[in-house]
A and B are shown apart, each in its own frame.
Chain A
Amino acid sequence: MSDTARILTGIPASPGIVVGRARVVSDFGDLQAAFRLLYTDQERQAEVRRFQEAVEQAQADLTRLRDRVAAEFPEHTHLLELHLLILKDQMLYDEPLRLIREENLNAEWALHRAYERVRELFSRIEDPYIRGRIQDVESVYRRLMGILIGQSPRRLIPPGEEVILVARDLSPAETTQMAGSGVVGFITERGGRTSHTAILAQSFEIPAVVGVDNAIREIAPGEEIILDGLSGRVILHPDVEVLERYRRRQEEFAAFREEVTTTAAEPATTPDGFATRVMANIELPEEVHLVGRYGADGVGLYRTEFLFLRLRHLPTEEELFEDYRKVVAALAPRLVTIRTLDIGGDKFLHRTDYVPEMNPALGLRAIRFCLKEKDIFRRQLRAILRASAFGRVRVMFPLISSVREVREARALIEEVKAELRREGLPFDEEMPVGAMIEVPAAVTLCQMLAPEVDFFSIGTNDLIQYALAIDRGNKQVAAMYQPLHPAVLRMVLQVVTAAGVSGVPVAMCGEMAGDPLHLPILLGLGVSELSMNPLAIPVIKRVIRSITLAEAQTMASRVLEMVSVEEINAYASRFLKERFPEIYRFGSALAGI
């Protein structure tokens, strides 16, 4: 790296590399609109025209955006349709015109006053979902105000000119507008890799880095910068040499991605005939199309927490059912594995009903919480069972640590099934039920757990954390979080062996499953179903199709003899680097998201 270059680090949210000019979006509060009174008819007429022209421009911009988005992502156009309607609404169109004509306000002032009235009106709405639509009104207001004061979004995102958007935060609506615009990447100060905005960026294949501290202050508007969505880095003031290097890397990554994606849908079988299933982890119904796009054989982990968190109230059975049915029906006949609620009460119970915990990771969460709050659990189980009538569903319980928990949960499923039968509601009588293996106790007990379930799914994120006693969020020990730790590998082997005796299939659904570095060893240990971030699937399938099971088994038995994780890591890296040099360079970045 040259002397002049400066690097900002954030969280890689959507993979890819892009070079472009920064377009720094200042906060809403920075829009400096001048308010003034009008004195003559001539002035009033001019302001009326100016306001109408601004609305026309906004309408043209939004229509063009909508048409572009409609061509590629028809499911994302409804927000833009809504904005078009708000633009001509009586309260935001007729009212400002009246204020200009009758109250002698200039266009900015009239618009501001009209918007404030809408905001005031909406603040009194009790229903949180309906009240939340003020965000869309605000978005339209900002667009119009921007045009009026000469900072139009059209200039903000000029068509044709490629810009990297830099903002404090971006709403899902704003992210949606980027599809088909000149935005080739974005950087935000807020957000995590699983935020809604990051997920949309992945689905639009726009590289993004989020969680970059002080991005707005550090990045100068108009400056040429490099955004590396693979490593989460933003490079400022790059010299010619650095630019050249990243441009090459950008081309290579694009070619790599293109190549692996074209063959993604084909089955993942090793050359010596070992058939595996490569599945997707998803969280939102919007992610369903990624399953097909990246060639997943089904969903190995459907996280169900989002609806509970989004609604801020306890979702009804119908609300849960609707979400599950949508996903299950869209993916049928592919298998969808639904994980029951994996959070504690702190996330959505009222403060008075919830006792704060010193150590939530070891506290009342997941299956423990569900077995205590049986009404919530029962509601979710009913919704899952009802959704099972629309495709192929299996269900799994997180954080199982005893046989008793499995039996209790299964008994509840039987009760719920009996209810549904009485009510005449259809469901899959044979819906498989599984246990997640993510607590060391479950590993030790897996021989006894196996006869109680239809499948196991090893949740590596939690298992590694509990087995090695490492909190990944703690920077002082995060480096000790090591998926290839000898203890972890032995645990995986133990689960696979015990399950094999009972004929219970074993899946793996943590981040470890999606990393090409780990894959040969996992295959060699006997893991035949892997579930991961959809983006990682093409890479993983390609590795599976290129190595034989015999080779993977040799590797696995070799690493089982090694005593240190450093030795194992070096061995796995060497193998990947020699056999799959391009995957060695890019593949892990896809997996880590």
Chain B
Amino acid sequence: MQEKSHLVEREVWVENRLGIHARPATQILNLARQFEAEILLEKEGLVANARELLAVLALDCPQGTRLVVRAQGADARDAAHAMVQLFARKFGET
């Protein structure tokens, strides 16, 4: 059983060619909505809530960007894991 304020941090890289454009941002949002945990994406000190499409786009993440996924909440571990997987799959792109 995970504790309520569980915080999980994971490093991810944007590997798909077009970076986090509309479709990947939509996938991030849809995934984040499946979890209770709050999921933040951090890029060089700038933070965006994974549930907010425009904020994620505005982080400006072309191919090669390094991000930290920070999940907090009961299902934080699963949420962070799922997010890492999504990045690793390159959002189904090339």
Q: A92: which of B18, B51, B54 is its contact (CB, 8 Å)?
A: B54
B30-59 CB mask vs A (1 if < 8 Å, else 0) is 000000000000000000010111110110
A130 touches B54 (CB 8 A): no
Q: How far is the CA of A124 from the CA of B57 in the complex (A)?
A: 11
Instruction: Verify A319–B17 contact, CB threshold 8 A.
Output: yes
A318–B22 alpha-carbon span in the complex (Å): 20
Q: Measured between C-beta atoms, what is the minimum distance from A86 to chain B in Å?
A: 6
Scan B52-94; emit 1 where CB is below 8 A from any A CB, else 0. Answer: 1111011011100000000000000000000000000000001
Asked if A82 CB lies within 8 Å of chain B CBs, one says yes
Say yes or no: is A125 at the interface (Cβ < 8 Å to chain B): yes
Complex-state Cα separation, A121 to B17, whole angstroms: 23
Establish whether residues A322 and B21, one from each chain, have CB atoms under 8 Å apart when the complex forms. Answer: no
A129's contact among B18, B49, B51, B54, by CB below 8 Å, is which?
B18
Q: Is the CB of A85 closer than 8 A to any CB of chain B? A: yes
Residues of chain A lying within 8 A (CB to CB) of residue B60: 124-127, 130-131
**A374 interface residue (CB < 8 Å to B):** no
Give A119-142 as 1s and 0s: 1 = Cβ < 8 Å from B's Cβ atoms: 001101111011101001100000
Contact A133 to B62, CB < 8 A, known contacts A91-B55, A118-B54? no
Q: Does any Cβ of B come within 8 Å of A6's Cβ?
A: no
A85 to B62, CA, bound (A): 21
Indicate if A45 sits at the interface (CB-CB under 8 A).
no
Report A-chain residues with C-beta under 8 Å of the C-beta of B20. 130
Chain B residues within 8 Å of A129, by CB: 18-19, 21, 62
Could you tell me which residues of chain A, from 340 to 380, have a CB within 8 Å of some CB in chain B? none
Judge if B29 is at the interface, Cβ distance under 8 Å: yes
In contact, B21 and A133 (Cβ under 8 angstroms): yes
Chain B residues within 8 Å of A316, by CB? 17
Contact A89 B52 (CB under 8 A): yes
Q: Shortest CB–CB separation between residue A300 and chain B, in angstroms? A: 28
On chain A, the residues within 8 Å of B17 by CB distance are 316, 318-319, 322
- Hey, which chain B residues are within 8 Å of A137, CB to CB? 54
* B57-A130 in contact (CB<8A): yes
Residues A95-121 near B (CB distance < 8 A): 118, 121
A133 to B57, CA, bound (A): 8
Which of B49, B51, B55, B60 has the largest count of A CB atoms less than 10 A from its CB?
B60
Q: Mark A272-300, 1 if CB is under 8 A from B, else 0.
A: 00000000000000000000000000000
Cβ of A90 under 8 Å from chain B:
yes
Contact A136 B22 (CB under 8 A): yes
With A and B bound together, what is the CA distance between A563 and B44 in angstroms?
Answer: 75
Question: Which residues of chain B come closer than 8 Å to A126, judged between CB atoms?
Answer: 60, 62
Question: Is A89 touching B54 in the complex (CB atoms < 8 A)?
Answer: yes
B58 close to A125 (CB less than 8 A): yes
- Does A421 sit at the interface, judged by CB under 8 A? no
CB distance from B49 to the nearest CB of A (A): 7
Q: Which residue of B lies closest to A91 (CB)?
A: B54
Residues of B within 8 A of A429 (CB): none
- Residues of chain B within 8 A of A64, CB atoms compared: none
Q: For window 530-558 of chain A, which residues contact chain B by CB distance below 8 Å?
A: none
In the complex, whether A244 has a CB less than 8 A from a CB of chain B is: no
- Bound-state Cα–Cα, A236 to B94, Å: 51
Asked if A85 and B19 sit within 8 Å, CB to CB, the answer is no
Contact in complex: A86, B19 (CB < 8 Å): no
Name A residues whose Cβ lies closer than 8 Å to a Cβ of B.
78, 81-82, 85-86, 89-92, 118, 121-122, 124-127, 129-131, 133, 136-137, 316, 318-319, 322
Q: A122-B58, A133-B57, A316-B17 are in contact. List 18 more A-B contacts (CB 8 A).
A: A81-B26, A82-B22, A82-B26, A85-B53, A86-B53, A86-B54, A90-B52, A90-B55, A118-B58, A121-B54, A125-B57, A125-B58, A126-B60, A127-B19, A127-B60, A130-B57, A318-B17, A322-B94
Closest 7 CB pairs of A and B: A127-B62, A125-B60, A90-B52, A91-B54, A121-B58, A89-B54, A89-B53
- Can you list 23 pairs linking A and B with CB atoms under 8 Å apart? A78-B23, A81-B26, A82-B22, A82-B26, A85-B29, A85-B53, A86-B54, A89-B52, A89-B53, A89-B54, A90-B52, A91-B52, A91-B54, A91-B55, A92-B54, A118-B58, A121-B54, A126-B60, A127-B61, A130-B20, A130-B62, A133-B57, A322-B17
